[in-house]
Amino acid sequence: MIDDDEPENVKDGEDMRPTAIRPVSPGRPDMESVTAVVPESDLIDRARAGDTDAFADLVRRRSSSVVAFLRRMLGDTEDARDVAQLTFVRVWENLHRYDATWAFSTWLFRIASNLAIDALRSRKTRARTAAENLRLVRGGPLAAESDGPTALSRDEVRRVFEACATVLSEKQRLVFVLREFEEKESREIAGILECRESTVRNHLFQARRLLRDELLRRFPEFARGFGGKA
């Protein structure tokens, strides 16, 4: 489960990665029309048999949605791309473990979610270390910083969630992003986290409550109407 170690089917597998894992080059003739009609299940079967071209097509189909999800989780485009790359490496290494009774998207997002949580935890560790070092250099506790601007420009609106999401745990943030941004149903989120739907609903309720409180505190002009159904 997300709560503990990575699920067995996403642990490092045998060394079977291709020489390069990348989206198919736009220059390949007629590839757009070919991949548009090939069922994803066929691409998965071919990739499991070692077809790197089929896997490249899978990456090309899924990379934009994975990067978008990770950008919302991590708040940084470059970090999102790096983790997306690692996600597809893990997918390639573990395709032989993929259970086709699960939707491929559920399995894919489970891997991406685990890696995103690892990245968030690593980032927190680095931030704590940097803050402690700065405190020692200054010889005392850090002064409290001002909480956010008094007014947000249009370009800054997209940063509101990232600013407020710092109050969430990794799992609360994950559930909120999957539900509110990716528009996934509670059942699918439960499959990604390998937990009960009631756990998903609880995380979502707590995330909305914490975000609402933080919005009221930092950006009250955005707090009205915040919420939604699980």
Residue 49 φ/ψ, nearest 5 degrees = -85, 0
Q: Per-residue pLDDT for the chain (230 aa), expressed as one digit of tens each? A: 444 444 444 444 444 444 445 543 444 444 444 445 789 999 999 999 999 999 999 999 999 999 999 999 998 899 999 999 999 999 999 999 999 888 999 999 999 999 999 998 887 655 554 444 434 443 443 333 333 333 444 445 457 788 888 899 999 999 999 998 888 999 999 999 999 999 999 999 999 899 888 888 887 766 655 555 55
DSSP string covering 155-180, please? GGTTHHHHHHGGGS-HHHHHHHIIII
54 contacts 46 by C-beta, under 8 angstroms: yes
In the block, residue with structure tokens 């986290």: 193
Residue 158's pLDDT is what? 55
Cα separation, 84 vs 59, whole angstroms: 10
The total number of residues shown for the chain amounts to 230
Residue 161's pLDDT is what? 80
What fold, for 1-143?
A: Rna Polymerase Sigma Factor; Chain: A (1.10.1740)
Question: Which residues touch 113 (CB under 8 Å, ≥6 apart)?
Answer: 2, 73, 174, 178, 192, 193
CATH architecture observed for domain 146-222? Orthogonal Bundle (1.10)
Residue 183's pLDDT is what? 87
In the block, residue with structure tokens 């990348």: 22
Whole-structure pTM value:
0.64
Residue 155's pLDDT is what? 46
Residue 137's pLDDT is what? 40
| Residue ranges per structural domain of the chain | 1-143, 146-222
26 contacts 100 by C-beta, under 8 angstroms: no
Residue 222's pLDDT is what? 64
114 contacts 107 by C-beta, under 8 angstroms: no
Cα separation, 107 vs 182, whole angstroms: 15
CA torsion, ordered 67, 72, 75, 81, to nearest 10 deg:
-10
9 contacts 97 by C-beta, under 8 angstroms: yes
As given in the structure block, the two tokens for residue 94 are 């573990």
